[in-house]
Amino acid sequence: MDGQFDSIVHVVSRHASRKSAHDAIIFLARGETETERVSYGALEARIARHAGRLARFAGQAVVIATPPGGDFASVFLGALRAGAVAVPVPLPDTEKNRSRFASVLGDARPAAVVTAQDWVARVAAVAGSATILTPGDLDGPASALPAVDPAQPAFVQYTSGSTRTPRGIVVTHGNLMANQRMIRTAFGTGPGIVGVNWLPHFHDMGLIGTVLHPLYLGGTAVLMPPSAFIQKPARWLRAIERYRADTAGGPCFGFELCTRTISDEQARSLDLSSLKVAFCGAEPIRAQALDAFAERFAPARFSPSAFLPCYGLAEATLIVSAAEPGRGIRRKRLPALGSGAARDHVSCGRPVEGGALALRHSNGGAGEICVGGPHLAAGHWDGTRRTAVPFADIFAESGTIYLPTGDIGALVDGELYVVDRLGDFLILYGAKIHAADVEATARDEAAEIRAACAFAADDGAREQLVVLCEVDRRALAAAAALAPRLARRIAEAHGVVPQVHFAAHGALPRTSSGKIQRAAGRTKFLSGELGLHKVETTAANPVSHAE
């Protein structure tokens, strides 16, 4: 479909010429009522006008801080068409986002910032010498469709890491097109795709998977803000029903939130039979959570075969591996990496056609996941030199350039099982303990625990294992009874008695894709910022079988 084009803007332009009236984007500002409907013809016209105004920033970074919807899509694609380097970021609407916004601007050194009219004053306060523009300012004469070098930077994705200064990943036009082809192959999507999603539009899964992928195929992207989903998860499922979506998905916690907040009676009133691909990624995939969703929404005619677990990361543009469409979830019981019993892991399928995957230092078992292929990003953004600096830790093997991801995985029968983060293991009392194993033990022991965060912290006398557990507010009253049971189970499984704390659901720091941030959780715990409900357990000493 796209072989004759250099970039996604050519593909969108072609769709506009062939199906001008077809809906490209439908936006639900509050998750229910349509507030915007943009056809391919209208989108193409806006992209061309924006590109004409943005041409003066060719080769320079242009930060895009707008709400989700048609304006974001047209400004983003307009920047790509103009040869500028788009930098999508969240609005500085919270203290955390304001700090992050300032950090990104300091690193990216943009020539311009495009934001909504209501945000101009707040953005200008931290934008330095960058030109401040609104989508209305970009409404100029249409630009011609240019040739684009596939090696040219298209956009910079600032990863949602922990507390360190964010670093920008440079995705080229070639990277983006290669990964779009890979998603199409992996998900089995086609021109009739209707995707309904709530993921952040500035994050890799939301941007590439739920905004750009339907546009790449000539389908329809039905979008709502993450806040609309979080406030009322049923909005997502109602929109899937209303627009007869065939594709939707997100992190595991999104499916969990639906199960927890939507009753059996409400589920029976839904019709999810149109959903063929329910992708799940961006965080550890829990089979129990997907099983519970499938059971709750069976009366809504949701098919468990729609589940499509996948693995990816911004450094690989987005997707790396995916389960076969229509198969549902496959699980394997794998040995624990450190202490603890074997536990179930969900397959993230085979490496997607066109990409390469290898395990480093595996010794026949689990090892560090390394990725390569045409979707491997160009490197980190150097705002001073306006170019990509190659990743420092890439290496070559059998003629392929690989990047270590920091994730640990195992290949079983050719399928990838993601086990843990390489840096998230703890050495306590001579025992090697993996944080993911401890968190899984906590969640498996008590259904009340919605999320867990495990790390080591020094109390001045010794390193202790700390486990922060999120529970519903009504369950906090029962924490005194739950804590000893939980501490005992973790001690039995991992050889160390933990210090257990409880917090209301949503209190633990997360990335924009929903991953628990262990480093940020530890920092906030030590600074006393989390407002935890502490329950004393026995002294945090190793149990008798610890080495």
Each residue's pLDDT tens digit, 103-148: 999 999 999 999 999 999 999 988 888 999 999 999 988 888 889 9
The residue from 384, 409, 434 where one domain ends is 409
What type of residue is 364? G
Specify the pLDDT at position 227. Answer: 92
Q: Is residue 544 part of a domain?
A: no
Q: Is residue 238 part of a domain?
A: yes
Strands 400-412 and 367-372, how do they pair?
antiparallel
CA 24-26-32 angle, to 5 degrees, is: 165
User: Residues 231-247: what's their mean pLDDT?
Assistant: 97
Specify the pLDDT at position 429. Answer: 62
Q: Are residues 330 and 478 in the same domain?
A: no
| Confidence check: pLDDT of 258 > 60 | yes
Strands 23-27 and 220-223, how do they pair?
parallel
Q: Is residue 493 part of a domain?
A: yes
What does the mean pLDDT of the chain come to? 89
Q: Are residues 166 and 208 in the same domain?
A: yes
Specify the pLDDT at position 461. Answer: 52
- 416 Cβ contact partners less than 8 Å away, ≥ 6 residues apart: 311, 320, 321, 347, 348, 349, 350, 351, 357, 369, 409, 410
Q: Which pLDDT tens digit goes with each residue over 66-79?
A: 999 999 999 999 99
Task: Identify the DSSP state of 258.
Answer: H
Instruction: Report H helices in 300-447.
Output: 435-445
Domain that holds residue 114: 8-409
Band (pLDDT 50/70/90 cuts) for residue 272 is very high
Does residue 253 contact residue 280 with C-beta atoms inside 8 Å? no
Q: Count Cα atoms within 13 angstroms, Cβ side, for 72.
A: 27
Band (pLDDT 50/70/90 cuts) for residue 159 is confident
Residue, of 522 and 29, whose pLDDT is higher: 29
CATH number of the domain residue 437 falls in: 3.30.300.30
Is residue 278 classed as helix, strand or coil in its secondary structure? Answer: strand
Greatest alpha-carbon span in the chain? 76
Q: Are residues 143 and 58 in the same domain?
A: yes
Q: Are residues 284 and 315 in the same domain?
A: yes
CATH number of the domain residue 270 falls in: 3.40.50.12780
Domain count, the chain: 2
User: Residues 253-274: what's their mean pLDDT?
Assistant: 95
Residue 373, both tokens: 């292929």
Place of tokens 């086990």: 419
User: Residues 164-176: what's their mean pLDDT?
Assistant: 88
Q: Is residue 183 part of a domain?
A: yes
Specify the pLDDT at position 492. Answer: 87
Q: Are residues 159 and 192 in the same domain?
A: yes
The residue from 409, 442, 473 where one domain ends is 409
| Confidence check: pLDDT of 545 > 50 | no
| Confidence check: pLDDT of 423 > 70 | no
Residue 362, both tokens: 């595996």
Q: Is residue 542 part of a domain?
A: no
Q: Are residues 217 and 114 in the same domain?
A: yes
Q: Are residues 395 and 444 in the same domain?
A: no
Q: Are residues 314 and 402 in the same domain?
A: yes
Residue, of 52 and 515, whose pLDDT is higher: 52
Band (pLDDT 50/70/90 cuts) for residue 448 is confident
The residue from 380, 409, 438 where one domain ends is 409
Q: What percent of the chain has pLDDT over 70?
A: 91
Lowest mean pLDDT among 150-164, 178-192, 314-328, 363-377: 150-164
Q: Is residue 415 part of a domain?
A: no
CA distance 533 to 449: 14
User: Residues 275-288: what's their mean pLDDT?
Assistant: 90
Q: Is residue 330 part of a domain?
A: yes
Band (pLDDT 50/70/90 cuts) for residue 538 is very low
Helix or strand holding residue 114 (H, E): strand 112-115
Residue 457, both tokens: 């912290």
Rg of the chain in Å (alpha carbons)? 23
Q: Are residues 379 and 475 in the same domain?
A: no
Q: How are the residues of the chain apportioned to helix, strand and coil, as percentages rounded to the nearest 5?
A: 35, 30, 40
CA 288-294-295 angle, to 5 degrees, is: 90
User: Residues 429-440: what's their mean pLDDT?
Assistant: 78
Q: Count Cα atoms within 13 angstroms, Cβ side, for 195.
A: 33
Band (pLDDT 50/70/90 cuts) for residue 390 is very high
Q: Which pLDDT tens digit goes with each residue over 215-237?
A: 999 999 999 999 999 999 999 99
Residue, of 346 and 527, whose pLDDT is higher: 346
Helices (H) and strands (E) in the chain, counts: 16, 30
Q: Are residues 399 and 438 in the same domain?
A: no
Q: Is residue 167 part of a domain?
A: yes
Band (pLDDT 50/70/90 cuts) for residue 546 is very low
Q: Per residue in 58-82, is it b (16+ CB within 10 Å) or e — as a string? A: bebbbbbbbbbbbbbbbbbbbbbbb
Residue 36, both tokens: 């915007």
Q: Are residues 261 and 328 in the same domain?
A: yes
CA 164-165-169 angle, to 5 degrees, is: 110
Specify the pLDDT at position 161. Answer: 44
Q: How many residues does the chain have?
A: 547
Specify the pLDDT at position 316. Answer: 96
Specify the pLDDT at position 5. Answer: 54
What type of residue is 111? A
Q: Are residues 239 and 322 in the same domain?
A: yes
Q: Which pLDDT tens digit goes with each residue over 491-529?
A: 888 888 899 999 888 889 887 667 788 888 888 888 888
CA distance 71 to 375: 27
| Confidence check: pLDDT of 1 > 50 | no
